[in-house]
Amino acid sequence: MRFNSSNISLKRPTAVGATDFLRRNDRMAALLPAVERMARLQKDCADCLPAMFKHCEILAFEDGQLLLSLPTTALAAKLKQQLPKLQDTLARRGWQVLGVKLKVQMAKPAEIKEKMRSLELPPAAVEAFDQLSEELEASAQNSALIDAVKAMVARRRAGGG
């Protein structure tokens, strides 16, 4: 298949798509059993502790040592308390887990930009603040307040929020 914009799928890649890709390439096809094994192990872990494994990943499983990645130290502390249950459940499912190591890997937080709600002041309120800035006693104590109120009035009248 030739590369062109019409054969690019905008959907997220699926596990089926990934396995199809691996099967098509001889070198990659050799990885398929390991990928399927890790997927089964991830599923078994998630079945045992679903709330915790929503954010965990298996980094490695070699020589009976399971290495898990967690996003926070708090989750690592909670999971540490559940390790006997996890190891017991995995043993009943045929996994020989001799030990579990936890590695905290804080993911780069997604840039979440919350839209700040803008406070709208009715024209009468803007006028009242303007009047307040004129009527406040001009003293050293009030100067910062007067400047701030005048600046706010100017912004509101200019439509800058």
Q: Model confidence over 104-115: pLDDT tens digits?
A: 987 655 544 555
If we measure between CA atoms, which residue out of 45, 41, 63 comes closest to residue 53?
45
pLDDT above 90: residue 125: no
Q: Model confidence over 10-42: pLDDT tens digits?
A: 444 556 676 677 677 777 777 778 888 888 999
The radius of gyration of the chain's CA atoms, rounded to the nearest angstrom, is: 30
**If you count them, how many residues does the chain have?**
161
Helix then strand count (H, E) for the chain reads 7, 3
If we measure between CA atoms, which residue out of 6, 35, 3 comes closest to residue 18?
35
If we measure between CA atoms, which residue out of 95, 63, 77 comes closest to residue 86?
95
Cα–Cα distance between 111 and 80 in angstroms, integer?
A: 30
Its pTM stands at 0.52
